[in-house]
Amino acid sequence: MATRPLMMSSNRSLAWSRTGTGSPIVFLHGYGARRSHWSPWLPGLANDYECLTVDLPGFGEAPAPADADYSPGGMALTVIDWIEELDLADCTIVGHSMGGGIALLVALGLMDRAAEGGRSRLAALVSVAGAAYPQREPPFVHLSRQRWVAGLGFALLPKRWLVRMAMRQIVVQPDAVTPERVEAYAEPMRSAARRRAFLDCARRLVPADIEAFTARIPEIDVPALCLWGRQDPVIPLAIGQRLAQDLPQGRLAILDRCGHQVVEEHPEASLAVVREFLDARRNQSTD
């Protein structure tokens, strides 16, 4: 099957890229990241799937207005509206870290709109070390919540140094901290508007109604993969184990010698797990 050329665009709040043909997969990055996070997977998926990678509001190349809602719920609503604008159907939503929590909110929102008479759009879900339940706050997120201290640090300290230090705390495989990846994370931090968006997002990372949200996770009755690094220091494996149990069609896959940056630490092994999951669902739908 021919591969659709890479397309890039933006709506009011997002920047996004599209490549490949087939059932759509929407990729949502984590805190401080951008859509290039998913680049190691795209060549292995684009021949059979339409891959749409998103820069969430305030991150990457997305707009970063001062009055935007950078909460997980606000960003999820933006993604849902964008999915509807593109009229995507049979969607798999994939999220890493913060993006994993947003993916759960997107899934619930799409289900709610379908129940209200809208088109059914959700087909499957993949959480890659995704946020879900209350947990101990990672140190770099806690620091980001200290508005004045973090604001001065973000503004004055060398951006590559900040990124390198943060990445080294959350990976098991040190060779994942490449100069190219460090620069990809550091470049947006040179913008004052994006630094403000990062800090606003950090302060709102935990939804005020998190208990009500987590109580609804068992409603997401679609094929679901939870992919975790065994040594994840940011969102512990116990979160993935609970999420896989609470999702009616959930399954858990664990990568050894892997921290939080699953895609970057083990690009080939993680892609193989996701590809097996996606292909199994596709084969079932065509039987």
Question: What is the average pLDDT value for the chain, to the nearest integer?
Answer: 88
For residue range 12-59, what is the model confidence (pLDDT) as tens digits? 589 999 999 999 999 999 998 999 999 999 999 999 999 999 999 999
Q: Do the domain assignments include residue 269?
A: yes
Q: What string of H, E and C letters represents the secondary structure of the chain?
A: CCCCCCEEEECCCCEEEEECCCEEEEEECCCCCCHHHHCCCHHHCCCCEEEEEEECCCCCCCCCCCCCCCCHHHHHHHHHHHHHHHCCCCEEEEEECHHHHHHHHHHHHHHHHHHCCCCCCEEEEEEECCCCCCCCCCHHHHHHHCHHHHHHHHHHCCHHHHHHHHHHHHCCCHHHCCHHHHHHHHHHHHCHHHHHHHHHHHHCCCCCCHHHHHHCHHHCCCCEEEEEECCCCCCCHHHHHHHHHHCCCEEEEEECCCCCCHHHHCHHHHHHHHHHHHHHHHHHHHC
The full length of the chain comes to: 287
Q: Which residues pair with 28 in a beta bridge?
A: 54, 95
Short-list 77, 56, 79, 99, CA closest to 197: 56
Short-list 73, 23, 69, CA closest to 279: 23
Could you list the residue range(s) of the whole structural domain that residue 88 is in?
7-137+207-286
pLDDT the model gives residue 6: 39
For residue range 211-266, what is the model confidence (pLDDT) as tens digits? 889 999 999 999 999 999 999 999 999 999 999 999 999 999 999 999 999 999 99
Between residues 238 and 188, the one the model is more confident about: 238
Between residues 235 and 163, the one the model is more confident about: 235
- CATH number of the domain within which 32 lies: 3.40.50.1820
pLDDT band at residue 1, thresholds of 50, 70 and 90? very low
Q: Is the pLDDT of residue 79 over 50?
A: yes
Q: Do the domain assignments include residue 128?
A: yes
Q: Is the dihedral of CA 163, 185, 48, 282 positive or negative?
A: positive
Q: Which two tokens stand for residue 148?
A: 């004045």
pLDDT the model gives residue 152: 60
User: Degrees (nearest 5) of the Cα angle 191, 197, 203?
Assistant: 140
Q: Do the domain assignments include residue 190?
A: no
pLDDT the model gives residue 139: 64
Q: Do the domain assignments include residue 202?
A: no
Q: Do the domain assignments include residue 183?
A: no
Q: Is the pLDDT of residue 86 over 60?
A: yes
pLDDT the model gives residue 3: 36
Q: Is the pLDDT of residue 8 over 80?
A: no
For residue range 130-148, what is the model confidence (pLDDT) as tens digits? 999 988 876 666 666 666 5
Place of tokens 């996701």: 274
Asked if residue 27 lies in contact with residue 38, where contact means CB atoms within 8 angstroms, the answer is: yes
pLDDT band at residue 269, thresholds of 50, 70 and 90? very high
Q: Is 156 exposed, middle or buried (0-12, 13-18, 19+ CB in 10 A)?
A: exposed
Q: Do the domain assignments include residue 120?
A: yes
pLDDT the model gives residue 263: 97
Q: Do the domain assignments include residue 56?
A: yes
Number of domains present in the structure of the chain: 1
pLDDT the model gives residue 11: 45
Q: Do the domain assignments include residue 257?
A: yes
